[in-house]
Amino acid sequence: MVVLKARLVEQALAEGFVACRVCRPGDVPEVAARLAAFLQAGYQGQMAWLGERTHWRGNPAALWPEARSVIMLAESYAPRHDPLAGLSRKDRGVISVYAQNRDYHDLVKKRLKRLARWLIDQAGGDVKVFVDTAPVPEKPLGQAAGLGWQGKHGNLVSREWGNWAFLGSVFTTLKIEADAPEVDHCGSCRACLDICPTDAFPAPYQVDARRCISYLTIEHKGPVDVALRGKLGNRIYGCDDCLAVCPWNKYAVAASDIRYHARPELLAPRLEELA
């Protein structure tokens, strides 16, 4: 399996992923308690689906008991532009980087399926692929596999490519050599916490979605709380402030797939044209 693992990583990089690591489905025992605390605090807001199927969401080993390995993949969508530059242009709207072009679900899933087919051809076994489409705790699994660590803003951070990455997974019945988990390298940095316009972080590593601009402009149904409206500024779909200021982004390289680069009409749309 050592040879297979090396070839798997090589194939994943050839597909366009920036990293490929492996862990076991049961390598994230802390997830269930963290999820329970998150839900108990009400931080999920109107995202009721986060409270559903918690027996899977908190325990990926239960999602598919036959799986012996989880292959975690990261795909960069790092922008070529400064995501914060548009915040001063009050006649323009700001759209989150991930939504400035093609739907990442389609792009990542196609690559995952090709990689999964390659794995079956090489070694057999059964596979299931996921990209934000099932109750899979991708970020904790990403840390367990060594892709990176969950930063104080809750997103996965890597010493190699910063925090601009989509995550996908291939569950397989094959037992593939596992990687060592990544450790936290945030240190005393508070950049992501301090820049948040709405104070959506009750504490480091905790996110209250009810105050998060990404949630308020995408998931929230109904009017935004009066106390928060003025803090949204010209952000009309999502928010990248906490991601953009992470110092580990100095290692990020702009996404190699041009389908992640901003379409001109979505980079800074005129607000008057959207009214």
> Tens of pLDDT along 23-40?
999 999 999 999 999 999
Handedness of CA 43, 56, 98, 185 (dihedral sign): positive
pLDDT at 92: 96
SS3 (DSSP) at 49: helix
d(Cα 191, Cα 232) in Å, to the nearest integer? 19
d(Cα 60, Cα 91) in Å, to the nearest integer? 45
Which residues, other chains included, contact 205 with Cβ-Cβ below 8 Å and sequence gap of 6+?
A: 150, 151, 152, 154
Q: What is the pLDDT of residues 118-169, one digit of tens each?
A: 999 999 999 999 998 889 999 999 999 999 999 999 999 999 999 999 999 9
How far apart, in Å, do the first and last CA atoms of the chain sit?
Answer: 57
d(Cα 260, Cα 104) in Å, to the nearest integer? 8
Single-letter residue type at 111: R
Show the DSSP H helices in the chain as ranges.
2-15, 31-40, 54-57, 60-63, 104-123, 138-145, 191-195, 213-218, 226-229, 241-244, 264-267, 271-274
Cα→Cα distances 94→47, 83, 88, Å: 23, 8, 10
Q: What is the mean pLDDT of residues 94-119?
A: 97
Q: What is the mean pLDDT of residues 96-125?
A: 97
Q: What is the pLDDT of residues 43-79, one digit of tens each?
A: 999 999 999 999 999 999 999 999 999 999 999 999 9
Q: Is 132 a catalytic residue?
A: yes
Cα→Cα distances 126→25, 54, 67, 68, 99, Å: 15, 24, 8, 10, 32
SS3 (DSSP) at 75: strand
Are 90 and 152 contacting, i.e. CB atoms less than 8 angstroms apart? Answer: no
d(Cα 97, Cα 239) in Å, to the nearest integer? 8
Q: What is the pLDDT of residues 7-17, one digit of tens each?
A: 999 999 999 99
Q: Which of 103, 121, 132, 257 is catalytic?
A: 132
d(Cα 93, Cα 139) in Å, to the nearest integer? 29
Rounded to 10 degrees, the C-alpha dihedral 11/16/18/19 comes to -30
pLDDT at 40: 98
User: What's phi and psi for 156, nearest 5 deg?
Assistant: -75, 135
Neighbours of 115 (CB within 10 A): 24
pLDDT at 234: 97
Give the pairing type, strands 69-76 and 165-172. Answer: antiparallel
pLDDT at 2: 72
Percent of the chain at pLDDT exceeding 70: 100
pLDDT at 80: 94
pLDDT at 213: 99
Q: Average pLDDT of the chain?
A: 96
Which residues, other chains included, contact 162 with Cβ-Cβ below 8 Å and sequence gap of 6+?
A: 78, 246, 248, 249, 250, 251, 252
